[in-house]
Chains A and B, each alone.
Chain A
Amino acid sequence: GENVEQHPSTLSVQEGDSAVIKCTYSDSASNYFPWYKQELGKGPQLIIDIRSNVGEKKDQRIAVTLNKTAKHFSLHITETQPEDSAVYFCAASTGSQGNLIFGKGTKLSVKP
């Protein structure tokens, strides 16, 4: 079955710097890759996603890139702000029943 590895597990950056979180997946049939942000005491919130027919997608300060050959995808956050501090999860799905397999999360801390 699918396996998703996520790195790093913790990441600390200064406000205004960029942050990059990387994930690799094992099943070449995976075709949908969402990223979720989880604030303390809340449920995960979808922030951006990408499908396998696209190499990059941007939404303001957030971007996701996908390398299907290498089976890895990354989240890029530019001009980080303290409110970006949260746990971020990547996930992958083959589309069959829509089952998402999640990475173990990255705790991002943005220091003012």
Chain B
Amino acid sequence: NAGVTQTPKFQVLKTGQSMTLQCAQDMNHNSMYWYRQDPGMGLRLIYYSASEGTTDKGEVPNGYNVSRLNKREFSLRLESAAPSQTSVYFCASSLRDGSYEQYFGPGTRLTVT
């Protein structure tokens, strides 16, 4: 039982390049989330998927798109990376949306030059 896994662990992009961050969970959770973590800012929600087939914007969605591929997988795409998107990205999952425990993956450290 791996929990929440994320790939890649590290990535360096040039401004304007695109990439997709992958996330998968094996806990049979319905809800999945993408956060970014910046120094002194805590964790901020980018997008979430309350259940398979649905996605919604969080606090900071601009510059990102998401796909809930199936119940296990939730990807985050940067179409045209900008230096302001340099951050650590965390995927999380929970049994359901609402007041349920969220379990986090190990993170992807992204640098945009």
Q: State whether A98 touches B42 (Cβ < 8 A).
A: no
Picked from B40, B56, B99, B107, the residue with its CB within 8 Å of the CB of A93 is: B99
| CB-CB under 8 A for A98 and B40, given A43-B90, A43-B104, A43-B107 | no
B41 near A: Cβ within 8 Å?
yes
**CB within 8 Å: A-B pair count:** 61
B53 near A: Cβ within 8 Å?
no
B73 near A: Cβ within 8 Å?
no
Q: Which residue of B has the minimal Cβ distance to A45?
A: B104
A44 near B: Cβ within 8 Å?
yes
Q: A26 CB to closest chain B CB, in angstroms?
A: 15
CB within 8 Å of A: which residues of B? 4, 31, 40-45, 48, 50, 56, 58, 90, 94, 96-107
17 contacts between A and B (CB under 8 A): A6-B42, A31-B99, A32-B100, A36-B104, A43-B90, A43-B105, A43-B106, A49-B101, A91-B43, A95-B98, A95-B99, A97-B97, A97-B98, A100-B45, A102-B44, A104-B40, A104-B41
